[in-house]
Structure 1
Amino acid sequence: MAALLLEKLSDCLGSPEPAVRLILSILIGYPCALVYRRFLFYHPATVIHLFHTFSGLALAAFNFGSQLYHSTVCILVQFLMLRLMGRTVTTVLSSFTFQLIYLLAGYYCTATEEYDIKWTMPHCVLTLKLIGLSFDYYDGGKEPSELSEDQKKAALPSVPSLLEMFGFSYFYGGFLVGPQFTMRSYQRLVAGELTDCPGKPPNSEIEAIKRFGLGFICLAIFAVFGPYYPDSYFLTDEYEAQPFWYRCVFILLWAKIILYKYVSCWVIAEGVCILSGLGYNGIVDGKHQWDACANMKVWLFETTPLFGGTIASFNINTNSWAARHVFKRLKFLGNKTLSHVTTLFFLTIWHGLHSGYIMCFSMEFLIITVERQAQALVRDSPALTKLANSAFYPIIYVVQQFIHWLFMGYSLVPFCLFAYDKWLKVHSSIYFCGHIFFLIVFLIMPYLRKALVPKKERSQKKEE
C-alpha cells in the first residue's frame, strides 16, 4: 500500500521515486525534532540516543532497505578502532584509510552513468563524520596550547559509547544529506546545552520555519524549472544544432536551476537541526545565533559575482570539514598551494570515481587561482581600483556575474554528466571556452600587472 502511494506521488510530481523518498525523509526530520523537544528533552541521554538511532535507522531502511548494514558496519569498525587502538596517529590513519576505501569500494560496486540516489549518498556524509571523529579523539589527548580554537571545541576527552556513536551517526537532522557536525556538538545537544533558554527546549521554532520556507521556495524553483533544463539535453542533436551563444546561455541557466536541488535539501535539513537545537551557535552582539549547521548562505550564493564567494556560500560544513581536517593539518608541507591541491584531490575522490569530478575540481583550482590574481591586480592598480569604485560598477557587476555563472556551469557539466565521453562532448561543443579563457588570463596576468601596477607597488609586493 505504501509503495503504491509512493509510486502515485512520484508520478504526480514527475520525480523518480528515490528522490521522493529522500525529500520525504528530510521532511520527517521536523516531526522527529518536535517529538524530541516535547517528550524527550528532559530524559536521560540513553533514551535520546536510542530515539536518534532508531529514527535514523528507520529512515535508512525506508530509503535503502537492507543496504543500511553498510553504515552499521562502518560505525562498529570505527568504535572498535577508537577502543582498541587508542589515541594514536595509527588510529587516525587507520580510520581515514578504512572509511575512505569502504566508500570508494561502494562507489565502484554501484557505479552507473547516471546520478542515482543509493546507499553511498548518505554514506559519504557518514565517512566524513567518522574520520572527523578519529581526529577529534586524537586531539583530545593533546595539550590545549597545541590546538586551534576549532580543535579545542571539537576535541573529545574520552571514547564515546557505542550507543552514543549510533545516535551521532544516525541523527535524523544530518544522516541523509548532512550537515556535518562534531561529536562534541551532538553531546551538547543531548545534554540540553544547545538552547537559548538554559534547562528548557530552545525557542527556535520561528528560525526553523524560516529555513523551511526558504528551502521550500528553492525546491519549488527546481521542481518548476528543472524539467526545462535536463542534463540529457546536452547530449542531443538539438543542443548541438543551436548557435554558440544559445549553448552558453543554456549552460548558465541550467547551472542556476540544477544547484537548487542541493540548496533546497540543505536548507530544509538545516531547519530540522535548528528546531532540535543543534543549530544553536551562541550569542553574537546580543543576539542568539542559529547558524551552527548552516550549509548554505543563500543571499551570498545569489548575489556574489565571485567564484570564491559561491564556494564560501555552498556546502559550507563540508568545506569547513575539509579545511579543518585536511588543509590545515597539511601545514607541515610548508606550501599552501600543495595543501590546496591535496585537499581538492581528497574532495574529488570523496565525491566519486568518475572523471567528471576530476575535471570539475581541477577547473575550480584554475578558476580560483586566476580570480585571486585578478583581485590582487584590481587592489594594487590605482586605475582598476578607481574603475571598480566608479559609476560604471553596475555594468561591471552584470558582466562579472555573466562570466561567473557561465563558467560555474561550465565546471558543473562534468560534475553532473560524470562520464568522459559525455562531458567532453559538451565542452567541445562550446570549444572548451572555459579552459581557453582562464588559461589565457592566467598567462597574461603578469603582463597586466606590469602594465597596470606602478613599479613601486610591485617592488613592495616582492619584498613582502
Structure 2
Amino acid sequence: MGRTVTAVTTSFCFQMLYLLAGYYFTATEHYDIKWTMPHCVLTLKLIGLVLDYYDGRKEAAALSTEQRRYAIRGVPSLLEVSGFSYFYGAFMVGPQFSMTQYQDLVKGELTDVPGQRPRSFVPALKCLILGLFFLVVYTVLSPYIPDEYLASDAYLEQPFWFRCFYILIWGKVTLYKYVTCWLVAEGVCILVGLGYNGKDEKGNPKWDACANMKVWLFETTPYFTGTIASFNINTNAWVARYIYKRLKFLGNKLLSQATSLLFLAIWHGLHCGYLVCFQMEFLIVMVERQFIDLIRDSPFLSALNSVTILQFVFYVIQQAIHWMFMGYSLVPFCLFTWEKWIKVYQSVYYVGHVLFFSLLLVLPFMRKIFVPRKEKLKKAE
C-alpha cells in the first residue's frame, strides 16, 4: 500500500481487531498471562511502525521535530521488522521504542564509546537491583492485601475508614508488580545499548531512552499527574505521539485527551473495568489541574500554600488523597468484572465519583471567590 493513509488506516484496524478478537476469545475474569499480553505490546509497535513509515514520505520541513526523529526514510527489511517486533528485551511488557532506534542499535550507534560496546553494565545492574527490591516488597506484602478480599463479605463488614484505608494501601502495593517488570526490562535494554540517550551537559551518558519508571517521582509526588508522568512512561509517550498529537485536527485538547484515554482503555482489554478506570483518571486529572490553577491564581491561597509549617501538613493530606483515589481508580482495573468492582464502589459509597464530580462543579465558583478580578483579566490577556 505504500506510504498512504490507506496503509495507516488498514494497519490500525487490523492490529486492533486482531488484538480485540484475542481478548474476546481468551479473556477470563482474572488477570491473564497468555499470548495477548505480549501481543498488546506488539500491536502498538506495529501501529507506530506504519505511522513512522508514512511520515517518511514527507519533507523534513513538514514534520515536527519529534516526527523527523522517528520517520522511516527507507524500507525496512523483513528481518529488521522481525527483530524490531520480537526484540527480547521488550517484547513481553515493553518498553516501546521506534524502528529508527532499533536500526541505530543494530548499526552500533547507541553507545557512549563510539566504535565500542556501551559501558552500560553498572546502570543496567542498578535497574535490576531496584526491580528486585520492589519484587521483594510486592512478594512480602501482597499476600496480606489480596485483590479477592476487596470483593469479600469480610471486607464489607469493616468500618468505612478501614475500607478506604485498605484501598489506599492495596493500590500502592498492587502497582509494584508493574514497577518490577518495567525496571528489569529497562535494565535489559540499557545493557544492550537501546537505553542510551546521548549525554548530559556534563558529558555523562544518559541511559533513560527506554525508562518506563521514574521511581523517585513515583514515590514522592503528591499529584495524580506526577504519578502518570512517572509510571509506564514509554506507553504514555507512545499514545501522546501517535494518538493525542495526531488528533490535533479536532481542535480541542480535552477531546483529544479523552479519545486517547478511550484508546488506552480498549487497548488494555474488553472488560468494562478498564473504561471506568480511565474515565476516573480523566476526571481526577481535570479537577487536579483546575485546583492547581486556582491556587496559583489566588493570592490568598498561594500565600497560605507558601507557609513552611503548613506545607508538610498539606503534603501529607495530598499524599493520602492521592493514593486513596489512585487505589480507587485501580479497583475496576484489577477486578475487571462489573459484579466485583461495583460491589467495592458501593461499599465506599462511590466516594471518588461524588468528590471529584462535586469539585468539578464547585471549582468555578471558588475561582470567583478566591481569584481577584484583575488576576482573571491578566490571565485572559
Query: What does residue 369 of structure 1 align with?
Result: 286
Is 1:382 equivalent to 2:324 in the alignment? no
Q: What CA distance in whole angstroms lies between the structure 1 residues aligned with 2:75 and 2:38? A: 24
Q: 1:191 aligns with which of 104, 107, 121?
A: 107
Query: What does residue 73 of structure 1 align with?
Result: none
Deviation at 1:206, TM superposition (A): 0.5
Q: 1:359 aligns with which of 253, 265, 276?
A: 276
- Give per-residue Cα distances to partners, 1:434-459, cap 9 Å, x unaligned: 00110111111011101111111112
Deviation at 1:389, TM superposition (A): 1.2
- Give per-residue Cα distances to partners, 1:56-84, cap 9 Å, x unaligned: xxxxxxxxxxxxxxxxxxxxxxxxxxxxx
Write out aligned runs for 1:69-80 (5 A): none
Query: What does residue 365 of structure 2 align with?
Result: 447
Is 1:172 equivalent to 2:93 in the alignment? no
Write out aligned runs for 1:250-399 (5 A): 250-285=166-201, 286-391=203-308, 392-399=310-317
Deviation at 1:421, TM superposition (A): 1.1
Aligned-partner SS, 2:195: coil
- Give per-residue Cα distances to partners, 1:22-43, cap 9 Å, x unaligned: xxxxxxxxxxxxxxxxxxxxxx
Percent identity, please.
63
- Give per-residue Cα distances to partners, 1:101-135, cap 9 Å, x unaligned: 00000000001100110100000000000000000
Q: What CA distance in whole angstroms lies between the structure 2 residues aligned with 1:224 and 1:170? A: 32
More helix by share: 1
**Where does the alignment leave 5 or more consecutive residues of structure 2 unmatched?**
none
Higher mean C-alpha displacement, 155-164 vs 177-186: 155-164
Query: What does residue 355 of structure 2 align with?
Result: 437
Q: What CA distance in whole angstroms lies between the structure 2 residues aligned with 1:149 and 1:287? A: 24
Query: What does residue 15 of structure 2 align with?
Result: 99
Is 1:147 equivalent to 2:63 in the alignment? yes
Query: What does residue 55 of structure 1 align with?
Result: none
Deviation at 1:433, TM superposition (A): 0.3
Name the aligned partner's letter for residue 160 of structure 2: F
Q: 1:129 aligns with which of 34, 45, 58?
A: 45
Name the aligned partner's letter for residue 350 of structure 1: W
Query: What does residue 88 of structure 1 align with?
Result: 4
Deviation at 1:174, TM superposition (A): 0.4
- Could you state the TM-score of these two structures normalised by the residue count of structure 1? 0.81
Following TM superposition, the consecutive aligned residue runs of length 4 or more in structure 1 with deviations greater than 6 angstroms are none
Q: What CA distance in whole angstroms lies between the structure 2 residues aligned with 1:152 and 1:228? A: 49
- Give per-residue Cα distances to partners, 1:279-330, cap 9 Å, x unaligned: 0000121221000000000100000000000000000000000000000001
Query: What does residue 164 of structure 2 align with?
Result: 248
Q: What CA distance in whole angstroms lies between the structure 1 residues aligned with 2:218 and 2:244? A: 23
Q: 2:154 aligns with which of 227, 231, 238?
A: 238
Q: What CA distance in whole angstroms lies between the structure 2 residues aligned with 1:149 and 1:207? A: 28
Deviation at 1:340, TM superposition (A): 0.6
Q: 2:329 aligns with which of 411, 414, 424?
A: 411
Aligned-partner SS, 2:115: coil
Query: What does residue 401 of structure 1 align with?
Result: 319
Q: What CA distance in whole angstroms lies between the structure 1 residues aligned with 2:217 and 2:271? A: 30
Deviation at 1:236, TM superposition (A): 1.1
CA RMSD of aligned residues (A): 0.7
Q: What CA distance in whole angstroms lies between the structure 2 residues aligned with 1:303 and 1:388? A: 18
- Could you state the TM-score of these two structures normalised by the residue count of structure 2? 0.99
Aligned-partner SS, 1:321: helix
Q: What CA distance in whole angstroms lies between the structure 2 residues aligned with 1:460 and 1:435? A: 33
**Where does the alignment leave 5 or more consecutive residues of structure 1 unmatched?**
1-84
Q: What CA distance in whole angstroms lies between the structure 2 residues aligned with 1:256 and 1:123? A: 27
Deviation at 1:267, TM superposition (A): 0.4
Q: What CA distance in whole angstroms lies between the structure 1 residues aligned with 2:294 and 2:204? A: 38
Q: What CA distance in whole angstroms lies between the structure 2 residues aligned with 1:159 and 1:87? A: 10
Q: What CA distance in whole angstroms lies between the structure 1 residues aligned with 2:333 and 2:37? A: 15
Deviation at 1:374, TM superposition (A): 0.2
Q: What CA distance in whole angstroms lies between the structure 2 residues aligned with 1:459 and 1:197? A: 54
Name the aligned partner's letter for residue 191 of structure 1: K
Query: What does residue 121 of structure 2 align with?
Result: 205
